[in-house]
Chain A
Amino acid sequence: MYYRLAIKNLMSQRLRTFLTTLGLTVGIASLVVFTGLSAGLRQAIYTNILNNGSLTELTVQGKSGGSSLLSLIPTSQTKSHITPQNMADIEKIPHVTKVYPEMNYGNVSSLQISIVGQTFQTDTMIFGMPEEYLADTLTTPELQNEWNNATQNYPAQPYPAILSSRIIDLYNFTVAASSKLPHLTEQELTGLDLKLLPDQSTFFNSVNANTNPETAKLIGFSDKTSLIGVTLPIDVVRKMNQQLDPKYQDSYLQLYVEVDSADHTDEVQQTIDKMGLDTTSTQQQIQTFEQNFRFISLGLSMISFVILIVAGLMIANTFFSATSERKNEIGIFRALGASRTNIQMIFLTEASLLGILGGVVGIIVGLVGEFVLNIIAQKILPDVTNKPASIFLDNWLTLLGIFLLSIFLSTFFAFIPANQAAHLEPLDALNE
Chain B
Amino acid sequence: MIELKNVQKVYKTGDETVTALKNINLTIQDGEFIAIVGPSGSGKSTLLHLIGGLDKISDGEILVDGKNLQKLKDKELSHYRNKEIGFVFQDFHLQSHLTLLENVEIPLMFATGKKRKEATMQKKAKELLTLVDVGDRMNHRPAEISGGQKQRTAIARAIINKPHILLADEPTGNLDSQTGKSIIDLLKKLHKKENMTLIVVTHDREIANEAERIVEIKDGKLIESKRSEKFTR
A interface residues (Cβ-Cβ under 8 A, vs B): 1-2, 4-5, 8-9, 11-12, 328-329, 331-342, 425-427, 430
Contact = CB atoms under 8 A, between A and B. Distances in A.
Nearest to A332: B93
B102 interface: yes
B54 A339 contact: no
Interface in B80-111: 81-83, 85, 87, 93, 95, 97-98, 102, 105-111
Nearest to B158: A336
Given A336-B110, A427-B55, 4 more contacts: A4-B102, A334-B54, A426-B55, A430-B93
20 contacts: A1-B121, A5-B109, A8-B102, A332-B106, A333-B110, A335-B52, A336-B107, A336-B157, A337-B83, A337-B85, A337-B107, A337-B110, A337-B111, A338-B78, A338-B82, A339-B74, A339-B110, A426-B55, A427-B49, A427-B54
A325 to B, nearest CB: 13
Contact of A337 (B49, B79, B93, B98): B79
Contacts of A11: 97
A2 B54 CA distance: 23
Interface string B108-125: 111100000010010000
A340 B79 CA distance: 11
- For A329, A332, A425, A430, which residue has the most chain B Cβ atoms within 10 angstroms? A332
B105 A426 contact: no
Nearest to A341: B75
A328 B78 contact: no
Interface of B: 49, 52, 54-55, 74-75, 78-79, 81-83, 85, 87, 93, 95, 97-98, 102, 105-111, 118, 121, 157, 161
Nearest to A13: B97
B118 to A, nearest CB: 7
Contacts of A336: 81-82, 87, 106-107, 110, 157
A2 B109 contact: yes
Contacts, number: 72
B83 A339 contact: no
- For B49, B81, B110, which residue has the most chain A Cβ atoms within 10 angstroms? B110
A2 B109 CA distance: 8
A328 to B, nearest CB: 7
Contacts of B121: 1
Nearest to A428: B55
B89 to A, nearest CB: 8
Contact of B74 (A1, A328, A340): A340
- For B52, B78, B97, which residue has the most chain A Cβ atoms within 10 angstroms? B78
A430 B105 CA distance: 19
A8 B141 CA distance: 12
Given A335-B81, A337-B83, A427-B49, A8 B98 contact: yes
In the A-B complex, the 8 residue pairs with the closest CB atoms: A337-B82, A339-B78, A12-B97, A337-B110, A336-B107, A337-B81, A1-B109, A332-B93
A349 B228 CA distance: 49
A8 B87 CA distance: 24
B110 to A, nearest CB: 4
Contacts of A1: 105, 108-109, 118, 121
A342 B81 contact: no
A418 to B, nearest CB: 15
Nearest to A12: B97
A421 B55 CA distance: 17
Contacts of A342: 78, 109-110
A1 B55 CA distance: 27
Nearest to B107: A336
Contacts of A337: 78-79, 81-83, 85, 107, 110-111, 161
Contacts of A339: 74-75, 78-79, 110
A349 to B, nearest CB: 11
- For A4, A12, A339, A341, which residue has the most chain B Cβ atoms within 10 angstroms? A339
A336 to B, nearest CB: 5
Contacts of A12: 97
